[in-house]
Structure 1
Amino acid sequence: MEDMLKKELATSVLKNTGRGGGGCVNQGVAYETDQGLVFVKMNSNSGARKMFDGEFASLVALHTADEVRVPKPIKVLTNPEGGALLVMEYLDMRSLSSHSAALGQQLARLHQQNAGIGQRMLKEQQSVHKNSDLNYVDKFGFDVETCCGYLPQSNAWTDSWVQFYAQKIEEQIQMLESEYRDKGARELWSQILPSLSKLFDGLDIQPALLHGDLWGGNVGQLSDRPVIFDPCSFYGHAEFDLGICNMFGGFNSAFFKNYFKVLPKQPGYETRLQLYLLFHNLNHWNHFGSTYRGSSMGILKHLVKELKKS
């Protein structure tokens, strides 16, 4: 593997620094090269190439947006020993602390960036001085499949956010039915789906570039700024990113306060937060088993009650 890495990275030096990391899905190692330090994520499973291709595309999109710092992606490689590798810039990070407020502001600016481009394009349609560099995304989805954890998300471009998000939940429930033969989530979701659009009444939802899996383990900081990593991006409702922010902690009040200074809460936010927590609880149920059944069913029951009130 290391011989292949040296060739693909065109480096005469490839020295394992002993620094690395990993989680429940991937492992990683930092290497010294002719061009500086790189971080190599590794996964030996057959679906690793698709997973890393999606993460690479996500990092490219976030790096291009240039609102929140991410590791610069370098290459995705098929590992001759099995699976795949994702090579990116190495960043010497520590846990998020002093830059929480900055992350809130920067994330909100990321979420409003595409809508801002749309507004500028609308103005330029009435002007003789047009900027051809503007590129507004007017649908929900992404150019490639991405994986939240190791499970793929189709991300097919869709005109309606409600339709796109309903399909995300549908994919999760189909996996539950296939793997666990559990019909409980389906029974409750079938009561929610016909009225799902009520949770978005009065909102003008424009596609926002999202991180997609923004829990506390996927954020950190450098000496001067926050960093986000391990994305599974798509264009969706900005509030979706805040769902998992509220699931495991790691984000303090300064983060949320400064996020909402830029993008204020909209009516019905608390109920929609539960809707977005639902995806991640179902996804964790599919990854880790019935430990997450209770929380998933609890959210579904809560949403059924809320929609009956409306």
Structure 2
Amino acid sequence: MTSEALHALASHIAATLGSRLEAFSELPAGRTRRALRIDTGDGPLFVKLLPVDRAAVFAAEADGLTLLTQTDTFRIPAIRSQGSHDTYAWLALEWLDLKPVRDADDGRRFGDVLAALHAVHGPHYGLNRDNWLGDSRQENGSSESWPLFFARKRLLPQLAAAVEGGLRGSLVSNIQGIVERIAALFLDYRPAASLLHGDLWHGNAGVDAGGRPTVFDPAVHYGDREADFALAEMFGGFPTTMYATYLQGAPLHPSASSRRALYRLYHLLNHYNLYGMSYLRETERTAARLLSELT
């Protein structure tokens, strides 16, 4: 998109809010998304862009942000506008000046708020609409069985995408074996249907100028809170006080460590499908180790 076209788009977005464009700049792009800072007469916006045929991604993201906002736990960037213009769809959010969750006090606050989010429960596992985990469509629907939901709506769709992309061999059969035996990980544990962020790594978290923990880019659904915690541990980046504070306020089930690899496997498969061979070995090791424990 040329600078003239970006200017026209920025002006159009400002106009949808009844405001005027004062300035705009393009921000570092994501894997498939472009982003702008748009300064209007009513304040700055953070604007995400996708090709217009992917507008459903932003509709799902907006729904997820709204659901998180309703919990009054994390600071969630407010949705200012969404729509499409020419070849681009956009999602315009309030601009937040954020810093990473790094120091001990930030970690403690984040852990407390994460526990409060997970204390919000739904009537069933899943969600009333599909959404996206990064650039991967995430199937939802509703289920009364969390192991069945996780097998059918998480592992199997990612495995199908990998096989369609050419994956063969032991990883395929190992994941199939895990799916067949997944109930064994839940013999003494029936998790509450907690509201999950769904993509909780340190890159989707921050602290606002007032010190309030913030999250964004959600893949929300109701499920086992251990899944959020396992992903937060997997990629690190949070201070140790975050994990300690969370566990003090909301201890995990004694058998939680037996399910950590299961939840990491879903994200490893997703990364393999999105980013390729650099994630294959770790995915293979995780699946093989988990299946060995199950058999």
Quote the residue 1:5 is aligned against: 13
Which amino acid letter does the alignment assign opposite residue 69 of structure 1? R
The total of aligned residue pairs comes to 283
1:31-59 C-alpha deviation (Å, 9 max, x unpaired): 22233222111123632x12111111110
- Worse-superposed segment, 265-274 or 232-241: 265-274
Quote the residue 2:265 is aligned against: 278
State the Cα distance separating 1:271 from its structure 2 match: 2.1
- Worse-superposed segment, 167-176 or 223-232: 223-232
Contact 2:23 2:40 in 1 (8 A): no
Q: What TM-score, normalized to structure 1?
A: 0.86
Quote the residue 1:306 is aligned against: 293
State the Cα distance separating 1:150 from its structure 2 match: 0.9
CA distance in 1, matches of 2:23, 2:137: 31
Match for residue 250 of structure 2 among 260, 263, 269? 263
Call closer, same or farther: CA 1:147–1:208 in 2, change over 3 Å.
same
CA distance in 2, matches of 1:141, 1:14: 40
- Aligned partner of residue 219 in structure 2, secondary structure: coil
Call closer, same or farther: CA 1:175–1:43 in 2, change over 3 Å.
same
Call closer, same or farther: CA 1:160–1:247 in 2, change over 3 Å.
same
1:154-199 C-alpha deviation (Å, 9 max, x unpaired): 2111111111110210000000000124243320022222221121
State the Cα distance separating 1:206 from its structure 2 match: 1.6
1:238-279 C-alpha deviation (Å, 9 max, x unpaired): 111122212222112101001111210212211211111000
Match for residue 251 of structure 1 among 228, 238, 241? 238
- Aligned partner of residue 220 in structure 2, secondary structure: coil
Quote the residue 1:123 is aligned against: none
Match for residue 195 of structure 1 among 156, 181, 184? 181
Quote the residue 1:95 is aligned against: 100
Contact 1:25 1:149 in 2 (8 A): no
Call closer, same or farther: CA 1:277–1:181 in 2, change over 3 Å.
closer
CA distance in 2, matches of 1:166, 1:263: 26
Residues 150-165 of structure 1: matches in 2 within 5 Å?
Answer: 150-165=135-150
CA distance in 2, matches of 1:181, 1:257: 38
State the Cα distance separating 1:213 from its structure 2 match: 0.7
Quote the residue 2:6 is aligned against: none
Contact 1:57 1:144 in 2 (8 A): no
Structure 2: tracts of 5 or more residues without a match: 1-8
Residues 172-211 of structure 1: matches in 2 within 5 Å?
Answer: 172-211=158-197
1:27 is aligned to 2:14 = no
Match for residue 72 of structure 1 among 73, 78, 100? 78
State the Cα distance separating 1:211 from its structure 2 match: 0.8
Contact 1:109 1:262 in 2 (8 A): no
Residues 102-121 of structure 1: matches in 2 within 5 Å?
Answer: 102-114=109-121
Contact 1:42 1:86 in 2 (8 A): yes
Which amino acid letter does the alignment assign opposite residue 143 of structure 1? N
Q: What TM-score, normalized to structure 2?
A: 0.90
1:148 is aligned to 2:156 = no
Contact 2:10 2:38 in 1 (8 A): no
CA distance in 1, matches of 2:37, 2:165: 36
State the Cα distance separating 1:17 from its structure 2 match: 4.7
CA distance in 1, matches of 2:183, 2:115: 24
- Aligned partner of residue 113 in structure 1, secondary structure: coil
Quote the residue 2:50 is aligned against: 43
Contact 2:38 2:46 in 1 (8 A): yes
Call closer, same or farther: CA 1:235–1:79 in 2, change over 3 Å.
farther
Match for residue 124 of structure 2 among 139, 158, 162? 139
* Percentage of pairs with the same residue: 28
State the Cα distance separating 1:101 from its structure 2 match: 1.2
CA distance in 1, matches of 2:171, 2:252: 29
